[in-house]
Structure 1
Amino acid sequence: MLIHPWDAAQDDTEWQRWLAVHDFGQLAVSGPPGEAPYVQPLHFVYDAGRAEVLTHLARPNPLWPALEAGPEVLLSVVDDYVYAPGYWQVAPDEPTEHGTPTSYYAAVQLRCRAHVVDDPAEKAALLNRQLGHFQPEGGSAEVAVGEVPYGRLLSGLRGLRLEVVDVRAKFKYAGRKPEVRERVLAGLAERGGPRDAAAREHLLRRHGA
């Protein structure tokens, strides 16, 4: 992922706060020789204090042999993306139709070393961490080895702990074009698309536009 200086995260806090509420991504794992990488969409819990990601997958998932052969993986998270039409991007002294369209988005890539969790008690603890994150209001029984309703399901899945070894974060929101920011802000507000409000908040937060 290309990251220009003007699109880089301002500090670790910026991407960590964003990742705390963007907890669905794609895990990329190297495939066997001659095959394309495996890519698995999944929910996850990011623990900033421990610099690790917790998740789980079904035991029949084809990723497991690939993970055991090559535990170096990449977790990619992208959201708050919008299309910016060319007439938003055009310089003030140029014809409107000469503007160059672009994409605005937030992206975090975590390079990790994968550790498979097969111990039943450790899997139960991992699942309870995920339940606590995604369902803090409760409403589900605790996962416990040998206990209903989830104990019998533990054998059908494997836990995954991803040790984060490097992070690349990008917030691409008109960082290099201060002269178009007011027009972009107005365009996002008027269009009101599914992610326009989030993109507008990034632009305001990062540039004080």
Structure 2
Amino acid sequence: MLIHPWDAAHDTGEWRDWLARHDFGQLAVNGLPGEPPWVQPMHFRYDSEPGPYGQVLAHLARPNPLWRALDENPTVLLSVVDDYVFVPGHWTAPEGVPSEHGTPTSYYAAVQLRCTAHVVDDPTEKAELLNRQVAHFQPEGGTAPVCPGEAPFGRLLSGLRVLRLEVTDVRAKFKYAGNKPQSVQNRVADHLAERQGPGDSAARAHQLRRRR
């Protein structure tokens, strides 16, 4: 992922705050020799600790074919992308230039976590990590806890494997035209407010927030 200086996260707090609100991404696992990478969409829980970059918790079904690839190479990449919009070219033309000469572009936020994958099969540890995931997505409760050997979910534990992803590096990008003149940024922000399509409000908020 190319990251220009004007697209880079201002600090670690920016990408951590964004990731705290985004918990669905695609896990890329190196393929076996002669095969392309495995890419697995999944919900996950990000924890800012331990270590300098934190960890990710997720779980997948035991029959998932990516386990063999993980055994060969535990280095993986979790990619999270959201708050994306298409910006028409006639919104971006510089002052004094015909609007049809403007360049269409995309706005988006993306965080890529390079991780070392640790597979958890111990029933007690799996149950504890699964309960932590559920607590993230259902803080209000309403679902019985997972307990090994106990109803209603204990018997399902053998069909799952938990992934604890130790984050070793982070690349974050907030592509919201930070290199464009203020007049162009103002025009695009106004158009996003008018259009009110999917993602427009979030993209506009990023654009306004990141102005220096």
Match of 1:64 in 2: 67
Picking from 200, 208, 212, the partner of 1:196 is 200
Alignment of 1:19-34 (within 5 A): 19-34=19-34
TM-score, scaled to structure 1: 0.98
Picking from 173, 178, 189, the partner of 1:175 is 178
In 2, Cα distance between the equivalents of 1:207 and 1:153? Answer: 49
Q: Which amino acid aligns with 2:158?
A: S
Shift of 1:49: 1.9
1:75-130 deviations in whole A, cap 9, x for unaligned?
Answer: 00000000000011100110000000000000000000000000000100010000
Shift of 1:68: 0.8
Alignment of 1:155-174 (within 5 A): 155-174=158-177
In 2, Cα distance between the equivalents of 1:123 and 1:52? Answer: 15
Shift of 1:16: 0.3
Q: Which amino acid aligns with 1:186?
A: D
TM-score, scaled to structure 2: 0.97
Match of 1:91 in 2: 94
In 2, Cα distance between the equivalents of 1:120 and 1:159? Answer: 10
User: Any runs of at least 4 consecutive aligned residues in structure 1 with deviations exceeding 4 A, and if so which?
Assistant: none
Identity in percent: 71
SS of residue in 2 equivalent to 1:207 = coil
Match of 2:115 in 1: 112
Shift of 1:34: 1.0
SS of residue in 2 equivalent to 1:28 = strand
SS of residue in 2 equivalent to 1:7 = coil
Runs of 5+ consecutive residues of structure 2 not aligned to the other structure? none
Match of 1:205 in 2: 209
Instruction: Work out whether 1:151 is the aligned partner of 2:157.
Output: no
Match of 1:4 in 2: 4
SS of residue in 1 equivalent to 2:6 = helix
